[in-house]
Amino acid sequence: MSVTKSKVILTGLARKLVSENLLTEAVAEQAFEEAIKTRSSFVAYLVEKKLLGSKEVAHAASEELGVPLVDIENIDLNPDVIKLIDEKLLKKHRALPLFKRGNRLFVAMSDPTNFPALDEIKFQTKMNTEAILVEEDKILKLMEKVAELFDTGMKLDGELGDLDLADEDAENGVKEEEKSDSEDAPIVKFVNKMLLDAIKLGASDLHFEPYEKFYRVRFRVDGMLRSVSNPPVGLNRKLAARIKVMSRLDVSERRVPQDGRIKLKISASKSMDFRVSTCPTLFGEKIVMRILDSSAAKLNIDQLGYEPEQKEQYLQALSNPYGMVLVTGPTGSGKTVSLYTGVNILNKEDVNISTAEDPVEINLPGVNQVQVDERTGMSFAKALKAFLRQDPDIILVGEIRDLETGGIAIKAASTGHMVMSTLHTNDAPQTLTRMIDMGIAPFAIATSVNLVMAQRLCRRLCSCKVEVDIPKKALLEEGFKEQEVNDPNFKVYGPRPDGCEKCTNSGYKGRVGIYQVMPISDAMRRMIMEGKNAVDLADQAQKEGIPDLRQSGLKKVKDGLTSLEEINRVVLKE
């Protein structure tokens, strides 16, 4: 394409687009002139101004220039190759290096005729460059990911030792440690890389595990553990020591479990909290780190996966001036998020909210949070007694573990306070009988508890999900009703076997909650005082139309949110 003094002469791709009636000649001429003025590529200008779709331009360019069109979504980015080009140059030319062969660097571009860009990249890298044709919108998406990596400090050049602990005292201590033992710099970089990779993948936990013949690092992503690294087993003590220094634990103590916390500053404006737990094992200390995401407390209740009726029941229980709301489920089932979503709804200027937690996972402004620490004598029971002298309206107890804590919580709930807490039981009816087993009087439970909610988290199907064909008999055995299976619109979906880029080839992306929300009815209160067991209470819940966890899970399958396989993983068949 060339320009005369008086008129733009259309050649190459522009002429191709005009000949195929994708653009008029006047529009093509104007686009070319404006692209020059704005120092943009012709293709980028067309897509940015929505004169043409990126796919149409890419196919036309492929035919005209004889360059194959590559789907960049199916190519894994190589950080070692990306680091060859300065970030400013990447943004300037919207070019992304994908791989190299010898002294040849292959660069993804939406406009392979942008020779000045190729020349500039060649000058900086001292390598021969070759353009790979990709769609403009797809390269923009990848450019955003690369920009995020640079912005958050997840440097692609391996310089991960620059991360700091946000706490000044800890920061000074760590820097002294690093300066005094410079040979541990690779350990510092490796640990930081693991933390950043976990954040990038959306992991909830990191496991550093020493064994006799190997060492393993695993992340829990969407509820499932996956192995991500196998450092040399001989480094297990140095890795443990580095993490202990970061979390201000006793580095010399390897015989007893320790608990700590890390506040890691990953950029000028962003930091992340980690809860650290060490445990001595046969071949060294296993360390588990839980990523504490404060944004979870700000989730809208509609994002948690409640059915409309369940949501209404939970909100109704929260609106009561007194009584108890209990959330139950195993570790990692989202109990804290459910409770804090409720606390966030209640967090107003005219109420006094106090919480006792072990540990305090989410910092919520406007809420008085107390860290329970048995070593200093600050137990749940002691914190609760203190709260009752602090003019409370709403009290959150992290967990009811014993009779003393449960007794004080029940007493608070029956004397004009709203109390929220958690227990570890399998379903809602078992929660009530578990409290009786602790020694709490049935009458006190019956008059104080307003609602019990059991929950689980299951993996959410990615948008690449596929319909699966399951025989009618098998569906009925799984718990679906006859009328549901006979519905012509009834479909069951499963994960695509090879997944896609969004779900990192797992077929699942994110998680969704399944709930058993059980308001305590008058009939249930009578049954509790009569000493009925959990089975009797579960039968009564069914009579009142309260779906159990299995039924709630099957509803999520019916809605296409998760798979039958996933529900069977988290909830037993009856």
Residues 229 and 126 in one domain: no
CA distance 179 to 20: 65
pLDDT of 174 strictly over 60: no
Confidence band (pLDDT; 50, 70, 90) for 488? Answer: confident
pLDDT for res 267: 65
| Domain final residue, candidates 292, 314, 344 | 292
Residue 173 has a pLDDT of 44
Cα–Cα dist 435/406, whole Å: 8
Q: Are 428 and 337 in contact (CB under 8 A)?
A: no
| Residue 420, domain member (yes or no) | yes
> Residue 360: pLDDT band by 50, 70, 90 thresholds?
confident
Residue 133: the pLDDT is 80
> Rounded distance, CA 11 to CA 18, Å?
10
Q: Is 3 inside a domain boundary?
A: no
Helix (H, G, I), strand (E, B) or coil at 507: coil
Same domain, 347 and 434: yes
Give the domain extent around 84.
Answer: 79-159
By CB atoms closer than 10 A (0-12, 13-18, 19+), residue 54 is buried
Q: In 456-502, which ranges are continuous DSSP H helix?
A: 472-478, 482-486
**Higher pLDDT among residues 340 and 9, named by residue:** 340
* Predicted confidence (pLDDT) at residue 77 exceeds the cutoff of 80: no
What is the pLDDT confidence band of residue 151, given thresholds at 50, 70 and 90? Answer: very low
Question: Is 174 part of any domain?
Answer: no
φ/ψ bin of 332: left (φ > 0), alpha (ψ from -120 to 50), beta (otherwise): left
Task: Give percent of the chain above pLDDT 70.
Answer: 85
Average pLDDT over residues 322-345: 90
Helix, strand or coil, per DSSP, at residue 521: coil
Mean pLDDT of all residues in 186-199: 89
Confidence at residue 1, expressed as pLDDT on a 0 to 100 scale: 45
Structural domain includes residue 36: yes
Identify the band that residue 145 occupies on the pLDDT scale cut at 50, 70 and 90. low
Statement: residue 172 has pLDDT above 50: no
User: Do both 191 and 283 map to the same domain?
Assistant: yes
Judge whether residue 327 has pLDDT over 70.
Answer: yes
Q: Name beta bridge partners: 271.
A: 265
pLDDT, tens digit, for every residue of 427-455? 999 999 999 999 999 999 999 999 999 99
Q: For the whole model, what pTM was predicted? A: 0.66
Cβ atoms of residues 243 and 263 within 8 Å = no
Residue 465 lies in a domain: no
The pLDDT of residue 147:
60
Q: Count of alpha carbons within 13 Å of 83, Cβ hemisphere only?
A: 9
In a shared domain, residues 194 and 145? no
| CA pair distance 566, 79, nearest whole angstrom | 34
Number of domains in the chain: 4
Residue 547, helix vs strand vs coil = coil
In whole angstroms, what is the distance from residue 10 CA to residue 29 CA?
7
For residue 92, name the pLDDT band (cuts at 50, 70, 90): confident
Same structural domain, 270 and 344: no
CATH code of 263's domain: 3.30.450.90
Q: Are 406 and 445 in contact (CB under 8 A)?
A: no
Average pLDDT, the chain: 82
Is 507 a domain residue? no
Helix, strand, coil: what percent of the chain each, to 5? Answer: 45, 20, 35
CA angle 232, 234, 237 (to 5 degrees): 115
Residues 244-269, mean pLDDT to the nearest whole number: 85
Mean pLDDT, range 26-39, rounded to an integer: 72
- Give the CA angle between residues 176, 178, 180 to the nearest 5°: 70
Distance CA 228, CA 251 (A): 25
Radius of gyration (C-alpha) of the chain in whole angstroms: 29
Maximum C-alpha span of the chain:
97
Do residue 117 and residue 223 come from a single domain? no
In this structure, the answer to whether residues 232 and 128 fall within a common structural domain is no
Look at residue 62 in the predicted model and tell me its pLDDT. 75
What is the model's pLDDT at position 6? Answer: 45
Do 301 and 432 reside in the same domain of the chain?
A: yes
Find the length of the chain. Answer: 574
Whether 554 maps to a domain, the answer reads no
Per residue in 541-551, pLDDT (tens digit) is: 999 999 999 99
Q: pLDDT value at position 317?
A: 94
**Boundary (domain end) residue, out of 251, 274, 292:** 292
* H or E segment and range at residue 526: helix 522-529
Residues 373 and 519 in one domain: yes
Q: Does pLDDT of 53 surpass 80? A: no
Residue 310 lies in a domain: yes
Of residues 24 and 378, more confidently modeled: 378
From CA 541, how far away is CA 555, in angstroms rounded?
Answer: 17
Instruction: Give the list of residues 6+ apart from residue 231 with CB closer than 8 angstroms, or none.
Output: 190, 215, 217, 239
Between 298 and 233, name the one with better pLDDT: 233
Q: Are residues 331 and 287 in the same domain?
A: no
Residue with more model confidence, 59 or 285: 285
The answer to whether residues 24 and 102 belong to one domain is no
Residue 169's pLDDT is 45
- Asked if 375 and 384 count as a contact pair (C-beta separation under 8 A), the reply is no
Out of 292, 310, 330, pick the residue that ends a domain: 292
pLDDT > 60? residue 209: yes
What is the per-residue pLDDT for 294? Answer: 67
Condensed to tens digits (0 to 9), the pLDDT of residues 226-250 reads 889 888 888 999 999 999 999 999 9
**CATH number of 448's domain:** 3.40.50.300
Q: How far apart are CA 241 and CA 244, in angstroms?
A: 5
Mean pLDDT, range 271-279, rounded to an integer? 89
Q: What is the mean pLDDT of residues 525-552?
A: 93
Place of tokens 């199907």: 461
Lowest mean pLDDT of 2-11, 171-180, 219-228, 502-511, name the range. Answer: 171-180
For residue 546, list its beta bridge partners.
none
Residues 221 and 281 placed together within one structural domain of the fold? yes
